[in-house]
Amino acid sequence: MRKEILVIDDNPDIRSLLSSILKDQMFEVRSAANYDQAVFEINKKTPDLAIIDIKLDKTDKDGIDLLKIVTKKNKFTPVIMISGHATVQMAVEATRLGAYEFIEKPFSKEKILNYVNRALESASLKKEKDIIENKLFHSFELVGKSSSIMKVKKIIEKLSTSESRVLISGPTGTGKELVARKIHKNSARAKEPFVIINAALLKEKTYEKELFGEEFDDGNISYGALERANKGTLLIDEVSEIPFETQANVLRVLIDQKFKRLNGTKDVNVNIRLISSTSKDLNNLVKIDKFREDLFHRLNVMPIELTPLISRTEDIPLLIEYFKEKLSEINGVQQPKIDIKNDNLYTYDWPGNVRELRNLVERITILSSNESKSDINKLIQDMLNPSSSQDLSYDLLEKSFTSPLKEARKHFEKEYLLNQLKKNHGNISKTADFIGMERSALHRKLKELGIKGIN
């Protein structure tokens, strides 16, 4: 299928020139001569790529505003910004907001085609990566043979023919989102949207906007989570964090199945299945007037409780074997030789639960897939030992796994080498011998990672 490019420029000669160049390369081309036309074209259909001039007809709106609209509609749509009056500040701001490239006028045919082809190729790779990662994540199973996990699996199976609201409770990292996804996947709504809103990450003044959406004077609409989840399932993660005042509006939606967007006048009807999750005791919050009792009862139709990993250690071997296979596939490396009989795995209290175990396996998978079982046992001991350096704490692991793979790998290598150097009192030769690297190669790696010395 031919790629479609939207050209936005108030200069008819530039529009004509760009359209001609792109059409000669067999691209489909649409164009817009001003801001309002551009908004109309973007809303009508998001293009595969947009070329946007910075300066347009409006004094209060420009190409940067259009860049924001495009990237908000589709994060994978690349945008090339062009300008005849470029400044460094403009280029920096455009790049910060997600522009693929910033080009000054005049530009050559070769230059614009080079950037267009590279941008489309980059977008295609990002989409493929996102699809693969989502498929892998969505295919994760609820692993375990403990009585608590078997009970949860049976409830999920029974919920497949039900439309009941579900409240999933349990400590952080126990798999509440995974359970919600399984419920959705097994339901009649499986082919419809599954939308997540994390109430713990929202600013106090943005809850209603994120839930209900907003209408603007120029006719644009920002769709909220309720509308995006229509006909499907909405997961409100950490539902306890919704402000008390907003809880009343959520309750009204559950009763009426309709709402008004912020600044809107018309009712929006929705048909959603609501799943909520919490790491706090909602019953207790109700008693101290921090959570509405009527909303609690509406949410808690079918309760599911997930227990901490430390209370079901018989599941640890199964989880390790499962994560080894999955994470090796994701990272494209061999499965590491993890000894599932390692006592440290069963005496550690796992404050981050299954998520922490998964992070541990992923770290070992990235760093030590070719290491011996004894070396990996030593690494596990270092990671889980409460007296280890603060850099190897669970909080750091959790922070690291919010990074892209390349950045995470670099971060892990740095922390691992720092730890080994400290244990060997800064001795490069001993450290190189232990980790199986040539001394010169270790020197290069330390320089690459910015490690200058160990106290």
Q: Domain ends where: 82, 104, 130?
A: 130
d(CA 191, CA 67): 31
Give the number of residues written for the chain: 455
Task: Determine the average pLDDT of the residues in 327-335.
Answer: 80
Q: Which amino acid is at 393?
A: S
At 389 the pLDDT is: 42
Q: Domain ends where: 250, 284, 307?
A: 307
Does residue 345 belong to any structural domain of this protein?
yes
Q: Are residues 121 and 149 in the same domain?
A: no
Q: Which of 149-158, 176-185, 307-316, 403-412 has the lowest mean pLDDT?
A: 403-412
Q: Are residues 231 and 265 in the same domain?
A: yes
Domain carrying residue 257? 140-307
Residue 132: which pLDDT band, with cuts at 50, 70 and 90? low
Does residue 59 belong to any structural domain of this protein?
yes
Q: How much is the CA Rg of the chain, to the nearest whole Å?
A: 26
Does residue 135 belong to any structural domain of this protein?
no
Q: Domain ends where: 110, 130, 150?
A: 130
Residue 439 belongs to domain with CATH number: 1.10.8.60
Does residue 269 belong to any structural domain of this protein?
yes
Q: Are residues 334 and 284 in the same domain?
A: no
Q: Are residues 166 and 223 in the same domain?
A: yes
β-strand pairing of 267-269 with 258-260: antiparallel
Q: Are residues 173 and 293 in the same domain?
A: yes
Q: What is the pTM of this model?
A: 0.59
Strand partners for 275: 166, 235
Q: Are residues 341 and 379 in the same domain?
A: yes
Does residue 455 belong to any structural domain of this protein?
no
Residue 300 pLDDT > 90: yes
At 253 the pLDDT is: 93
User: Six-digit token pair at 228?
Assistant: 């995006």
Does residue 108 belong to any structural domain of this protein?
yes
C-alpha distances in angstroms, 368 versus 363, 373, 380? 8, 10, 11
| Number of domains within the chain | 3
At 218 the pLDDT is: 74
* Cα angle value 78/2/29 (rounded, 5°): 65
Q: Are residues 87 and 169 in the same domain?
A: no
Q: Are residues 349 and 298 in the same domain?
A: no
Does residue 454 belong to any structural domain of this protein?
no
Residue 203 belongs to domain with CATH number: 3.40.50.300
At 130 the pLDDT is: 67
Among 159, 105, 164, 142, residue whose Cα is nearest residue 354: 142
Q: Are residues 20 and 120 in the same domain?
A: yes
Give the percent of the chain with pLDDT over 90. Answer: 51
Question: Which of 62-71, 369-378, 414-423 reaches the highest mean pLDDT?
Answer: 62-71
Select the more confidently predicted residue: 191 or 235.
235
Average pLDDT, the chain: 86
Task: Determine the average pLDDT of the residues in 212-238.
Answer: 90
Residue 177 pLDDT > 80: yes
Residue 184: which pLDDT band, with cuts at 50, 70 and 90? very high
Task: Determine the average pLDDT of the residues in 259-285.
Answer: 93
Residue 375 pLDDT > 50: yes
Q: Are residues 111 and 148 in the same domain?
A: no
What pLDDT digit, counting tens, does each position of 226-255 carry? 999 999 999 999 999 999 989 999 999 999
Residue 213 · residue 222 · CB < 8 Å: yes
Residue 388 pLDDT > 80: no
What pLDDT digit, counting tens, does each position of 15-70 carry? 999 999 999 999 999 999 999 999 999 998 999 999 999 888 877 888 999 999 99
Residue 120 belongs to domain with CATH number: 3.40.50.2300
Q: Are residues 192 and 322 in the same domain?
A: no
Residue 390 pLDDT > 50: no
Q: Are residues 334 and 432 in the same domain?
A: yes
Does residue 202 belong to any structural domain of this protein?
yes
d(CA 204, CA 38): 33
Q: Which of 140-149, 265-274, 403-412, 446-455 has the lowest mean pLDDT?
A: 403-412
